[in-house]
Amino acid sequence: MNMKKLPKNLMLLSMALAMTSCGSVGLMIHTAKIYDGVLDYNAGGVDVALDTVHFVIDKKNRMLLKAEINGKTDTVMYDSGVNSFAALMYTPSTKPQGMKFYSHSVSGADKKSKIKVTTLPVKIRTDMVVSKGLGMATLNPEPPVCDKEAALSKYDIIGFQGLNLPRYMIDFTNNQMYEIRDTLSIDTTEFVPVKCKYYMNVLWVYPRINGVEYECMFDTGNGAAGILLQDEQRIEAPRNDDYLFEGSYGVAIGGHTEKQHFVVAPEERLSMAGDDKEVDVMYVKSMSSNNMGLKAISKYDWIISCWGPNPKVYVRPHATDTVKPFKAPAYRVAEVDGKLIILTRRIDGNEKFKVGDRIVSVNGEKITEENICHYYDLLTENKDWSGFEIEVK
């Protein structure tokens, strides 16, 4: 398809949307041997060292790696839930010379929050692959005053299309990704084929939660919940061990999601590849799709082969949990236009404050421009506010 001939408002639809489903035959997986951090396969008697990308999972549950985007090398975040673009970038207000931009308005995961963006051609280079595609950029974003580390604009993002590989492995046991070349003869032992499909330029998988199968987007960019499900009945009738919240359940592309009730179940049963694990599940009333996030994804090692008419995915369970478990806060706060606002509250009969309340003092000290980030950090780090004297308006 010649993208140059497309009208501006159709640029986002330029990728094929054909849906295919994953079979259980074809790709055979080797039990990967690791030598000094390099994956070796034996192909026709010749050892083949595969290109390797090393990544880390930070304290905010983000999958970070080194990459070069349009000549700039930096730490970037890998977000497999980004479907329409190879990369998301946060650029200064001055547009790079020689690049043609197209303006768009896009929605976030909650189907409501929107942001004005532009698109531009990008070239992505990692230790594993060099790829080209469309990038999306927000121009001159407003960074938060407090907790800049948690901001979406902290890192540029490589999407699912940014890796652009026929077959590769995400190895959470060793925090590495490897390309698996087509010429290799591969043998299965520890990996198990799982149901999947490739649709709307992203991968979809089918985990079972408490024995029920759900279609979920494979989303390494979701660090908030292991599994994110739309289920209004669970919110209306939460179980004894559930945490019921009111407020914003996360950050979408346009900012914090809208106020609503949602439930977090901290120890649901996740089943894949004949293996059961515990995972936290967030149940919300409204979102664009169910979602398997990094907390759940990182409980397995993955072989992904999405090119061609028969995409396939294989997984290998492992015992290492590389992300932090869920801890239920009584409240969450956000800094909004120089004010400290209650963003979320837990509904348990003991709540004193409402979502949207502005905190004006803590322990008798007024919130000012100089100390707002100190109290943001203090109230964020403490899940229980019973020891604080808090005044709101």
DSSP string, 305-374: E-SSSS-EEEEEE-S---SPPP---SEEEEEETTEEEEEEEE-SS---S-TTPEEEEETTEEP-TTTHHH
Regarding predicted confidence, which is higher, 45 or 102? 102
Give me the mean pLDDT over the 56-63 stretch. Answer: 89
pLDDT band at 40 (very low <50, low <70, confident <90, very high): very low
Exposed e or buried b for every residue in 340-379, given b needs 16+ CB within 10 A? bbbbbbbeeeeeebebebebebbeeeebeeeebbebbeeb
Strands 156-159 and 72-79, by their bridges, are parallel
Q: What are the tens digits of pLDDT across the range 147-194?
A: 666 665 678 888 888 877 788 889 998 899 988 876 665 556 788 899
* The pair of three-digit structure tokens given for residue 10, joined into one six-digit string: 């159709």
CA separation, residue 204 to residues 77, 80, 215, 280, 347 (Å)? 20, 10, 7, 19, 33
Locate the domains of the chain by residue range: 331-392
The answer to whether the beta carbons of residues 69 and 116 sit under 8 Å apart is no
Predicted local confidence at residue 10, as pLDDT: 26
pLDDT band at 214 (very low <50, low <70, confident <90, very high): very high
Question: Which range (65-79, 81-95, 125-139, 200-214) has the least confidence?
Answer: 81-95
This prediction has a pTM of 0.80
Query: Which residues, 6 or more positions from 123, have their beta carbon under 8 angstroms from its beta carbon?
Result: 69, 70, 71, 130, 131, 132
Predicted local confidence at residue 14, as pLDDT: 25
* The pair of three-digit structure tokens given for residue 108, joined into one six-digit string: 């976030």
Q: What are the tens digits of pLDDT across the range 261-296?
A: 999 999 999 999 888 999 999 999 888 889 999 999
Question: Which range (88-102, 251-265, 354-368, 377-391) has the least confidence?
Answer: 88-102
pLDDT > 50? residue 236? yes
Q: What is the DSSP letter of 380?
A: H
pLDDT > 70? residue 310? yes
Percent of the chain with pLDDT over 70: 72
